[in-house]
Amino acid sequence: MAEQAAPLTTSYTARPKRDIMRTIFGRDWKIAFLFIAPIVIVMTVLIAWPFLKAIYTSMTIRTLARETRFVWFDNYARLYADPFYWDAVRATVIFTSGSVFFKLIFGMIAALLLHGQKRFRNLLTGLVLLPWIIPSVVQALAWRSIYDPLFGGLNPLLMNAGLISRPVAWLSDPALAMASVIAVNVWAGIPFFTVNILAGLSSIDKELYEAAEIDGANVWEKFLNITLPGLRYVIAVATLLSTVWTFNGFETIFLLTGGGPGNITKVYSIMAYEKAISSLQFGPGTAVAFSLLPVLVFFILLLSRFMRRDISREDQATWQDAVISGIGWVFGMIGVIVSFPIFLILQGINAVIPAGALGGPSRRRGALFGGIGRSIGLTILLIFILFPFYWILITSFKGNFQIGARQGIFWPDPWTTEQFSRLFFEQPFFLWFQNSTIVSVSTTILAVVFSSLGGYALARLRFRGAETMTTALLITYLLPGALMFIPLYGILAELGVINTRWALILTYPTGMVPFATWLLMGYYRSIPEELEEAAMVDGANRLQSFLRIMLPLVTPALLAVTLFSFTAAWKEFLFAFVFINSNRLMTLPVGLAQTIFGDIYPWGMLMAASLLISIPVVIFYMYGQRFMVAGLTAGSVKG
């Protein structure tokens, strides 16, 4: 009997189990969370929590019985009814608008002059950047010394030139104090505009100028139709960034005038400090700091949109794009109207004549006049930029008798190291130097490690929340210290680290890490992904690919981040001034400021200390100048 055939059976392949966590959090969620954990901790513990706590604190008062009472919006109501508050707001607006306007004008002039300079351009650009990199305390004290009506150098200079007939009290005269403070801020801020506008000029296609020249366009027409459209976003974002920074300025004004005379220069950040720290009214002081938050939020929303353009997937224009473009046009035209006639004079009279109208000797003669005009312009610019450094140098090597007798104002006679001896043996200078070194090196290491990990995760890995994290980083970067120092003080006091180095090591990364992370993201994205994919095909995991492939390729970016972080920590003043009160734990900027007793300024010793404080930063900067410039142009105003 034939064997009965076995029944046919159908086999089904089991459906693979879906990775639920991967579906929810994204393809690379495991390694991504490991990479971004340090940044999340920093942003949550030292930024988000203090910010939320500050909002609550601004609605409280401390009674005479030392009890904290919640009063809702009473602090704000009393604040808006306080005429002294509105004086502070008015001073803030005047200081900000005046400073930003003139920084834009002179920054554009400097950029135009340097853009056409072929010989020694890198050297000249480096010299122009010097005011931006030195500590704010050095900026302020150097100019306060120059402004001094008895011992300063400005009055003799103007009197010898016949511009004034008697010494002027620049910082104590209510009619001149604000203008004098604005001048210092402009001097320190010109480099930022100069470098960014230079980057914008370099990015404009030269073929556009060549085509316009063939069509017979003159310099004005080329500037109006090619240069200005190409610079509108650079000008807008540089202006907005400078506005946010200037609006929240504290150190320079505090060290120059303390808010005087008669509250003429008391901006809102100084008023917040006086209420919260000096008077221990944390609630009203925090209310002052948060009272102008809507203005800052508006600027931050504009900036965060533009600064994310290179990583945004949205192609459609938004209201932020329209506003930024409009701001660029408005401020660009202001800069053109004011600065371009000066530039034409410096360039030579042939600048307004169509390109084809001159030939032979006339063109050569025009080029000669243009070169002479450019040289004159650069000379004037460098005198303005470098005079405070010259003043610091010569005052450092003068004796007390020469300074007091006002002999040889612009040259030491004789040269002496008396001020350095006083600084080394009468002040704990080496302790301040040690504190600054420990804090700066520690926070730089933290910033570089955290930002290199976080920047890689946000640029390369796929996980849910990356876009939100990127936006939060940019907003955090733009949050001013004037908003954060009051709530941070309360948190550090609860942790018991006030008046220790840990107070600075923990808080400095709050400003460094977001910017460094955002800066590194651009460098990571510029590296082809195929390199990592090839390494992983050969058996490397994601961590090995990061360590062996990516980090060596982003070494220039890491050097730029290191330079920025160290410079920021070395020159920081506000947090160190608020969180440290022990003379033996002070950093160099705060220690230098503490050598001033009332109205007595030991100018020789102050300038000697300023010189020594600036040397490490300048040496560090000279070594990595190209990385700093590249990072500034790439990190501040892309597009």
Query: CA 633 to CA 124: how far, in whole Å?
Result: 17
Residue 55 has pLDDT above 90, yes or no: no
Range of the domain at 243: 79-293+319-407
Range ranked top by mean pLDDT from 36-40, 277-281, 344-348, 465-469: 36-40
- The predicted structure's pLDDT at residue 226: 80
Do 506 and 492 touch, CB atoms closer than 8 A? yes
| Percent of the chain scoring above 90 in pLDDT | 20
373 within domain boundaries: yes
Among 556, 480, 519, 554, which residue's Cα sits nearest to residue 633? 519
Give this prediction's pTM.
Answer: 0.82
Residue 335 has pLDDT above 60, yes or no: no
27 within domain boundaries: no
215 within domain boundaries: yes
558 within domain boundaries: no
Residue 435 has pLDDT above 90, yes or no: yes
- How many independent structural domains does the chain possess? 1
Do 563 and 447 touch, CB atoms closer than 8 A? no
Residue 17 has pLDDT above 70, yes or no: no
Distances (CA, A) of 590 to 15, 488, 573: 67, 18, 6
187 within domain boundaries: yes
- The predicted structure's pLDDT at residue 333: 62
- The predicted structure's pLDDT at residue 635: 45
- The predicted structure's pLDDT at residue 332: 58
Query: CA 345 to CA 351: how far, in whole Å?
Result: 8
Supply the angle between the helices 49-57 and 481-495 in degrees, to the nearest 10: 100
401 within domain boundaries: yes
Residue 146, classified by CB atoms within 10 Å of its CB into exposed (0-12), middle (13-18) or buried (19+), is: buried
Tell me: the pLDDT tens digits for 240-276? 888 888 988 888 899 899 898 888 999 998 998 888 8
66 within domain boundaries: no
Among 154, 180, 149, which residue's Cα sits nearest to residue 167? 149
577 within domain boundaries: no
Confidence class for position 179, pLDDT limits 50, 70, 90: very high
Q: What's 288's domain CATH number?
A: 1.10.3720.10
Among 428, 420, 575, which residue's Cα sits nearest to residue 488? 575
Tell me: the pLDDT tens digits for 97-129? 999 999 988 888 888 888 766 677 777 777 888
Tell me: the pLDDT tens digits for 348-379? 444 433 444 444 454 555 555 556 767 787 88
Residue 60 has pLDDT above 50, yes or no: yes
Comparing 493 with 28, which gets the higher pLDDT?
Answer: 493
Among 136, 134, 238, which residue's Cα sits nearest to residue 181? 136
Residue 314 has pLDDT above 50, yes or no: no
**Mean confidence (pLDDT) of the chain:** 79
Least confident of 12-16, 235-239, 387-391, 505-509: 12-16
Tell me: cis bond preceding 261? Omega within 30 of 0 counts.
yes
Tell me: the pLDDT tens digits for 565-621? 888 899 888 899 889 988 889 999 999 888 887 777 888 898 999 888 888 888 777
